[in-house]
Amino acid sequence: MSRNLPVLVVQEASRPHGIDSELLDFEAELAAHLSDFGADFEPPRMVVYPELHLCGATGTPEQRKEQLEAAAEPIDGPRHQHLSRIARNLGVWLLPGTVCERGEGGHLYNTAPVYSPEGERVAAYRKCFPWRPYEPYQPGDRFEVFEVPGIGRVGLAICYDIWFPETVRQLAWLGAEVIINQVATTTCDRAQEQILVQANAIFNQVYMVSANSAAPAGRGRV
């Protein structure tokens, strides 16, 4: 039986961390993208943004850490309320890019939230393999999949996660048929990363959706 899941992958540069005005701009931008995407595609529809899209950080490692500390919120904080409302208002499965989460003990996590068309947060995956020492995050301790009713299971992997074969293999074992890989690759190895995406798809017989940030943060390749 045919199952269709239209996915809009948005390749854009990261925004500053999620103050109210930035989230309102984000909602308007997303609505504009959907105006081109929506009419010819029946629900469910999914929109995927790159890693740290709403929590952009630049400069030296110390400056980046300071910016990420300022952007960090608990997973149920004000940013969550805004994103839940946006997904509900627009009626889409929304993956708004990973966010900087303030977790237990004040630690930072690079976390990928997922919102249903009803505005429910159905997943919040913490990156298991931060790119050390560049990234100041604690690693997550589990892999996550979520269900799109009538379609199937979708798995989550963030950037460097896919360099470890166990990541996609475990997501496939958990029943994922599609893996969403949100990325902000700033280095020259995006071409190798694309090979890894293809290899993971072939080895595990899953679909891979890899969304890289645009320049100047990303390397300009989807």
**Which tens digits make up the pLDDT trace of 114-140?**
999 999 999 999 999 999 888 999 999
Q: How many CB atoms lie within 10 A of CB 42?
A: 8
Domain membership of residue 113 (yes or no) is yes
Domain membership of residue 218 (yes or no) is no
Give whichever of 77-81, 130-134, 161-165, 211-215 has the largest mean pLDDT: 161-165
Residue numbers of the domain that contains 112: 7-212
Average pLDDT of the chain, as a whole number = 89
Give me the residues paired with residue 100 across strands.
Answer: 110
Q: Is 65 a catalytic residue?
A: no
SS3 145: strand
Domain membership of residue 44 (yes or no) is yes
Q: Which of 55, 127, 128, 144 is catalytic?
A: 127
Confidence tier at 59 by pLDDT (50, 70, 90): confident
The number of domains in the chain is: 1
- Closest by CA position to 80, among listed 93, 91, 96: 96
pLDDT at residue 35 greater than cutoff 80: no
* CA–CA distance, 112 with 95 (Å, rounded to integer): 7
Give me the residues paired with residue 183 across strands.
Answer: 212
Q: Which of 100, 159, 177, 193 is catalytic?
A: 159
pLDDT at 217: 55
Domain membership of residue 134 (yes or no) is yes
Q: Is 159 a catalytic residue?
A: yes
Domain membership of residue 89 (yes or no) is yes
Domain membership of residue 62 (yes or no) is yes
* Exposure class string for 171-189: b at 16+ Cβ within 10 A, else e: bbeeebbbbbbbbbbbeee
Domain membership of residue 139 (yes or no) is yes
pLDDT at 17: 63
CATH number of domain containing 115: 3.60.110.10
Q: The pTM is what?
A: 0.91
Residue 115, class by beta-carbon neighbours within 10 Å (0-12 exposed, 13-18 middle, 19+ buried)? buried
Domain membership of residue 219 (yes or no) is no
